[in-house]
Amino acid sequence: MNYRLFGTSGLRVSELCLGTMTFGEEWGWGASREESRRIFDAYVAAGGNFIDTANRYTEGTSERFVGEFVAAERERFVVATKYTLFSRKGDPNSAGNHRKNLVQSLEASLKRLKLDCVDLYWVHAWDYLTPVDEVMRALDDVVRAGKALYVGISDTPAWIVSRANTLAELRGWTSFAGIQIEYSLIQRTVERELLPMARTLDLAVTAWGPIGGGVLSGKYNADASPAQQAEPGRMRDTPAAARRAERNLRIAGVVREVAQETGHTPSQIAVNWVRHQQGKIIPIVGARTLAQIEDTLGAVAFELAPGQMSRLDEASRIELGFPHEFLEQPNIRDLVYGGTRDQILDRRP
């Protein structure tokens, strides 16, 4: 496996990140401790060093397993965990982005991981209640206290992330080094704002759901129900869900065609497409079995041909909408650039 620099930092992380939401069986569908260990060992044997977990994953079991598995070679691994999600349901201060939840969540995570600090601490999701400056100052405090080395943010609008980093830079606080987003051939809406922002600010991007909740793995076909075909977290059994399901199947069909041409699996094709997108994109790959992670790890062993990438792009293309498509109209470009755009050689992201 090769490695990438994490955003503007000098931190080296493997080109695939191991997602550990499946470590533990508390949610009824995860992996046992023994199978989780086999998944972890296979990832490490392939050269992986970047482990992603969170305080809520399998009620804390994921963090406990991760801490146990990295203990023998702690310095080798980049361990990332998250806060925001509740630790005690019904307690308003046990969830959210605010300083109290950040501090108590980090302390609890460090205890479960049995670590003195984490390499990367993520804001898990934006709560729309906590002021941006409170979040950034609180994160800077835990970095200065030596309990986290870098910080990032997940599942948050681009305008909030860019405002947060601008504020941090102006005040000399720790900035976000990366973002975490849902991104796959069936979920490309992040190309409207989040990915352009990440490229412009030179943020690392970790992408969860690269095989679309299993839709792109080849396990569904034209006979699958709309509920099976729907993207994770989407409304099901509605006309909109039916249209998305039909679109998803078309995209999955092209993935299968490319898989057959290359002699690789659909999951490998889907992950490969994500990791070859413009920018520092690192797919987060999870598994419930050793066979699944071994299959997914094969995505780094080959390159997709330009023609195959183009077919996948075309099959899954989305409308970027306003203002992107408006600004690309020839007459608008002529007005904005005075007819000289093609003569301006220096282009910013």
In the residue annotation, 337 being an active-site residue is answered as no
Burial class (CB in 10 A: 0-12, 13-18, 19+), 73: exposed
C-alpha distances out from residue 214 to 204, 261, 330, Å: 24, 21, 40
**Per-residue H/E/C for the chain:** CCEEECCCCCCEEECCEEECCCECCCCCCCECHHHHHHHHHHHHHCCCCEEECCCCHHHHHHHHHHHHHHHHHHHHCEEEEEECCCCCCCCHHHCCCCHHHHHHHHHHHHHHHCCCCEEEEEECCCCCCCCHHHHHHHHHHHHHCCCEEEEEEECCCHHHHHHHHHHHHHHCCCCEEEEEEECECCECHHHCCHHHHHHHHCCEEEEECCCHHHHHHCCCCCCCCHHHHCCCCCCCCCHHHHHHHHHHHHHHHHHHHHHHHHCCCHHHHHHHHHHCCCCCEEEEECCCCHHHHHHHHHHHHCCCCHHHHHHHHHHHCCCCCCCHHHHCCHHHHHHHHCCCHHHCCCCCC
Give me the catalytic one of 3, 43, 57, 128: 57
Token pair in block for residue 238? 């509605």
> CA-CA distances (angstroms) from residue 237 to 217, 224, 227, 230, 241?
22, 13, 7, 9, 6
| Residues recognised as catalytic | 57
